Amino acid sequence: MTEQTDTEQNVNAASKKERLVLDEYGAEYTLIKKLNSGGQGVVWTTNHHNTLVKTSNQKDQQKRKRWSDHIRWILRQDLEGFSIASPKALITKPVPGYVMELMDGLHALEKDMQRNLDALSNGEGLQGFLNTGGLRRRLLLLSELAGTLARLHGKGLAYGDLSPSNVYVSESIGDSRLWLIDCDNICTNERAGWEHLYTPGYGAPEVVRGESGVNSLTDAWSFAVIAYQLLTSNHPLIGELVDEGGDFDGIEDFDDLSPEELQDKAFSGEIPWICDPEDDRNAAEGGIPMRMVASPQMQTLFHRTFEQGRNSAWDRPTMAEWRSAIDEADALTMDCHNSECRSTFIRSKNCPFCDSETSIDNHLLMTALVYADDPELDRSLLKMGYGRVVNMDETITFKRIPAGTPVHHDSEDVFQVRLTHEGMALKVVPGQQITIKANDNAREITQGFTLPQHKKQRRKYFIHLTTDTSPDDVVTHPVWAFIW
């Protein structure tokens, strides 16, 4: 029989009929169901709507006090507007803890990941991948997670113990809401020591080895592990060498090590990752190849993290880099119109999941340009290297700055495009103004315009997002180009 923690024993002792705890303001909470447990405590649902409680399971009184003091410090941090279930009040009786709020309709990301793995092991192929939202939803969730961590790091804070059990996502695959819970490890960047808490498989190598506290770079490692696992259904460090053992150039005889010891070596950074271009002995079988679910830019970031960044934290990509790369990939995500596939994939001539050829009639590619009225330039339209795919029956809002750039999410909405079998419809956001140019004709638009499907002539159109400028200024503004 599993031995109960001090938390469970004390909480149960408080009332045989109800497990009650009290916060610092005298409010009572009935602990209903255990959601998650870890090295520092247990997270419970309560009888209060959208309210969770975490209770400490520390046995050492000094550590308990230190933990409570740290929660008080987090309470003083300005986390308003973050997708983080931050502490709202301290639990004082019968054990230390804190109260946090969480929206309805969310569950742990690890539940979706396990559902996908179960489908693979049951011979259902990619059905589990599709049933948990496919590639598009995964990119949206990872963008949200990267954005939250980037903002946190921008305040000089680190999350600390990032894992799929602490990331909560929408139960509905039609939604991509994401929240971080269990945030008592949030700390200043860098906090040395603090028992080097981490979730096995997700801690950065230097944290696993006990050489570093948590910081933005250890968060970046944990994020990359989650991202790779979510996209490919493989752990980036667990391949054949870890699963089966073998000789590693005489440095270590892995034949004599247990699976647990091999994993420990992988998690502490002693074994190359499964896609190392210089050593493929830890390559993985099964799962989804990285090239099918990650853009070239994302693949580069994975290589940087798990190769140079394995033993040099400073070489790891930042969360801002991750978010830009993920946003750029999401902007180019296409729908497969094969009724037996229905996958989403990053723009390609063929669906990588079923090899069906894509049709120009099922999507519209918008290309980002910059107009510059500068006599020193040999041309006025410059490519930015970014694009946006509008899929059939999809409405996309275009911002002034394209996805893939660091300031995309902070830029203003300018217009929307909807593509249907009848044609393309553009609607200008109230208060905005654009200029449409085709051939030598220009037309100012303040509301919207349409292009019927039957009038497609492979003509180039340019949408100029003009702004007010001084006559003495060099005129520059964003432009979106497409062919109709």
Same domain for 181 and 138: yes
Quick one: what percent of the chain has pLDDT higher than 70?
91
Please give the Cα distance from 34 to 299 (Å, whole number): 37
Q: Is the pLDDT of residue 2 over 50?
A: no
Q: For residue 386, with 0-12 CB atoms within 10 Å meaning exposed, 13-18 middle and 19 or more buried, which class applies?
A: buried
| The residue count for the chain | 484
Tell me which of 5 and 420 has the higher pLDDT.
420
Structure tokens at 189: 């960047």
For 387-439, the pLDDT digits (tens) are 999 999 999 999 999 999 989 999 999 999 999 999 999 999 999 999 999 98
Confidence class for position 247, pLDDT limits 50, 70, 90: low
CATH of the domain at 19: 3.30.200.20
Identify the weakest region by mean pLDDT among 16-20, 280-284, 474-478. 16-20
State the DSSP H helix or E strand holding residue 144, giving kind and residue range, or none if neither.
helix 134-154
Please give the Cα distance from 85 to 73 (Å, whole number): 15
For residue 244, tell me if it sits in a domain. Answer: no
Q: 114: how many CB neighbours lie within 10 A of its CB? A: 14
Sign of CA dihedral 309, 314, 320, 321: negative
**pTM value?**
0.91
CATH of the domain at 212: 1.10.510.10
For 49-72, the pLDDT digits (tens) are 999 999 998 888 888 899 999 999
Q: Is the pLDDT of residue 16 over 50?
A: no
Angle (CA) 257 260 261, round 5°: 45
Is residue 141 within 8 A of residue 231, CB to CB? The reply is no
Identify the weakest region by mean pLDDT among 24-28, 283-287, 413-417, 423-427. 283-287
Same domain for 297 and 204: yes
Q: Return the pLDDT at 366.
A: 98
Q: Return the pLDDT at 135.
A: 98
For residue 386, tell me if it sits in a domain. Answer: yes
pLDDT average, residue stretch 144-170: 96
Q: Is the pLDDT of residue 331 over 60?
A: yes
Q: Return the pLDDT at 196.
A: 60
Q: Which of 72, 101, 130 is the last residue of a domain?
A: 101
For 338-366, the pLDDT digits (tens) are 999 999 999 999 999 999 999 999 999 99
Same domain for 419 and 326: no
Please give the Cα distance from 8 to 294 (Å, whole number): 43
- The distance from CA 431 to its chain's CA centroid, rounded to whole angstroms, is 32
Total number of domains constituting the chain: 3
Q: Is the pLDDT of residue 3 over 70?
A: no
Q: Return the pLDDT at 256.
A: 77
Q: Is the pLDDT of residue 8 over 60?
A: no
Same domain for 294 and 146: yes
Same domain for 378 and 417: yes
Q: Return the pLDDT at 17.
A: 46
Same domain for 115 and 40: no
Q: Which of 101, 130, 152 is the last residue of a domain?
A: 101
For residue 461, tell me if it sits in a domain. Answer: yes
Q: Is the pLDDT of residue 15 over 50?
A: no
CATH of the domain at 363: 2.60.200
pLDDT average, residue stretch 97-102: 94
Same domain for 376 and 313: no
* Residue-range definition of the domain harbouring residue 423: 359-483
Same domain for 136 and 70: no
